[in-house]
Structure 1
Amino acid sequence: MGKLLGGSTSHNGMAYFRGFKADYDTWESLGAKGWSYDDVFPYFLKSENNMSPDLARNSVCAKL
């Protein structure tokens, strides 16, 4: 049970998961070129370690 304003949905909205490697590799094998886990992994790292001052200055979180 979510014990916060908005309930469990509020909590779930803050969770971050990369997804399963096999899913990405399957998508590529079905024709989605460039969507293998090895292809998207650098983008996960880039978004997880974003230190852009422009993004921080313009983000909603920076205004809270």
Structure 2
Amino acid sequence: MTANDRDSNNARDDLTTLLVYHGRSFLYALEGPAAAINKTNERIKLDTRHRASVKLST
């Protein structure tokens, strides 16, 4: 998935995001409808490029 794909998916799902990174550590915050957040979070957890995913709040 490219950044353009991600941005298109987020706009379609009415999600606002924040991506912060330092070296190889990333913080990705999602804001929007709960169903869209849950669907996106599940997709992220299935992506093998992501490890140690932690949900901070609901």
TM-score, normalised with respect to structure 2: 0.31
Q: Say which structure, 1 or 2, has more relative contact order (CA 8 Å, 6+ apart).
A: 2
Bigger Rg over Cα: 1
Identify the structure with the greater strand proportion: 2
TM-score, normalised with respect to structure 1: 0.29
Identify the structure with the greater helix proportion: 1
